Chain A
């Protein structure tokens, strides 16, 4: 072997190997750095999504709270005789539902369900084609009925609207003050509920997603009523994450 060849075989690895090592290190460093940046970006976007989603849910919950304190709604829910409920009180309740729907067009349906799932008072925007007034057999209703939580929500594909919507309900436990103290304990009269359209919310989510190069898709949640009694930004993040 000529000395020139020996020299080449020794020198070249000595030069190339450190270069490769350096390159690999640089690559690793850049990769880790961009991954951290990407994660930070996704986390930021998810926080934003969670905030938007959380705000919508909390607003819906506040509106249900307000509606549930309306004397006409209370009187309606307390009236056990169906004929009286429908012939005397229902118009007032539907007028209030209409007013809410006009103020919050994203509420596609506003309704009062009896404890067996019967749609007792129902108001919907024109786009909704109500397929049934019996919700008792639907798994989401059964899950809600089994829950002890005062509020429930789920994201679901609604055949009435032909799109994904948020169902948010408040259980109405009301005491009848007209009865004696022994018998006027608050009792479940039904569920006051909103069907929130994803459209306005969806636009905001879409904008956030586009800015952050995210892909969002709506997945139907496992059919269980999700308590939002203690909805925190963290749990909202978890909810959004589970839907993205």
Chain B
């Protein structure tokens, strides 16, 4: 009798546990699956995310970073785990790939990848197997025309400002961007690795220190320091400046006469992700030309999708902030891959300037 009871109990226990497993797996077939996207703040259209969720029953959970360097720190802390996708700047893709963090593009390539203009793929050939170009743009100066005595036209105005701008400038905490623009203001290439030129750029940043209110990239909502007037002028990406202009017409954006950096943002999928197929599905979804055009307009940022341009209105394509004139682009540069030790030098010169700053 006890033996029969034991057998019955065992059967009952296995049945219950299998039911629990089945419950977990199948009880809510409509429960959305989830992808975790490491992204800049305000850098995705929520309506598109909603569409994606409705279409594929996949939610996108976003984790925000405020600079390329902070994204690197976040990923370094988790060794590239815990995230399915990320927006990554061109310079970091090789490093991420070397760490084994990135998944290879699927074969065959998802349909909508054919719409990407080859020139953005060719700009950084090392990215072709692991990253999908999404946007491109420029770095310039956003300023409050009602608060500054004269408009900014050059980087040198920004790095050697007049006294009225004490504690009124905003920078960002990315070594290459800040050092690159300081180099540009001195008439050098943003890719210079010449020690003397780098040292001069660092000295310029030290001189500028008393004028800097913050090295944090500004938020793009109503709480932005540029809107409150705490900051009069800040380094900013073109699309972000246009977003802030929606709140205040006095915000102007300029690509300085010396030229600037042309950046490309890529979407990558992490090799540690268990949902790589879904992640590629999401990227393919974003590159459907009409959606790519819609996202481009939402973010006031130029798309890398050549077919999407056909869906963009004339005034958008003629906007000089989004699509800068050729003469400015000619003076501007991509960030080249520089030697690791040159990068070490740039970090060693810039990070003390940034890390010793107190607001």
Contacts and interface: CB of A to CB of B under 8 A. Distances in A.
Interface of A: 72, 75, 81-92, 94-95, 98, 120, 122-124, 126, 133
Given A82-B344, A122-B348, A91 B98 contact: no
B343 A87 contact: yes
B335 to A, nearest CB: 12
Interface string B87-128: 000011011001100000000000000000000000000000
Contact of A85 (B75, B77, B340): B340
24 contacts: A81-B95, A82-B344, A83-B95, A84-B98, A84-B99, A86-B340, A86-B343, A86-B344, A86-B347, A87-B92, A87-B95, A87-B340, A88-B73, A88-B95, A88-B99, A89-B76, A90-B347, A91-B72, A91-B347, A94-B348, A94-B351, A95-B355, A98-B356, A124-B352
A88 B347 contact: no
A208 to B, nearest CB: 34
A123 B91 CA distance: 24
The residue among B92, B351, B356 with the most chain A CB atoms within 10 A of its own CB is B351
Interface string B113-152: 0000000000000000000000000000000000000000
Contact of B344 (A92, A120, A126): A120
B59 to A, nearest CB: 28
Contacts of B99: 81, 84, 88
Nearest to A126: B356
Interface residues of B, number: 23
A123 B347 CA distance: 11
Contacts of B76: 72, 75, 88-89, 92
Interface in B297-344: 340-341, 343-344
Interface of B: 69, 72-73, 75-77, 91-92, 94-95, 98-99, 340-341, 343-345, 347-348, 351-352, 355-356
Contacts of B344: 82, 86, 90, 120
Nearest to A81: B98
A75 to B, nearest CB: 7
Given A83-B343, A85-B340, A91 B95 contact: no
A71 to B, nearest CB: 9
Contacts of A81: 95, 98-99
A84 B100 CA distance: 11
Nearest to A82: B340
Given A75-B76, A88-B76, A83 B98 contact: yes
A133 B346 CA distance: 13
A118 to B, nearest CB: 8
A91 B94 contact: no
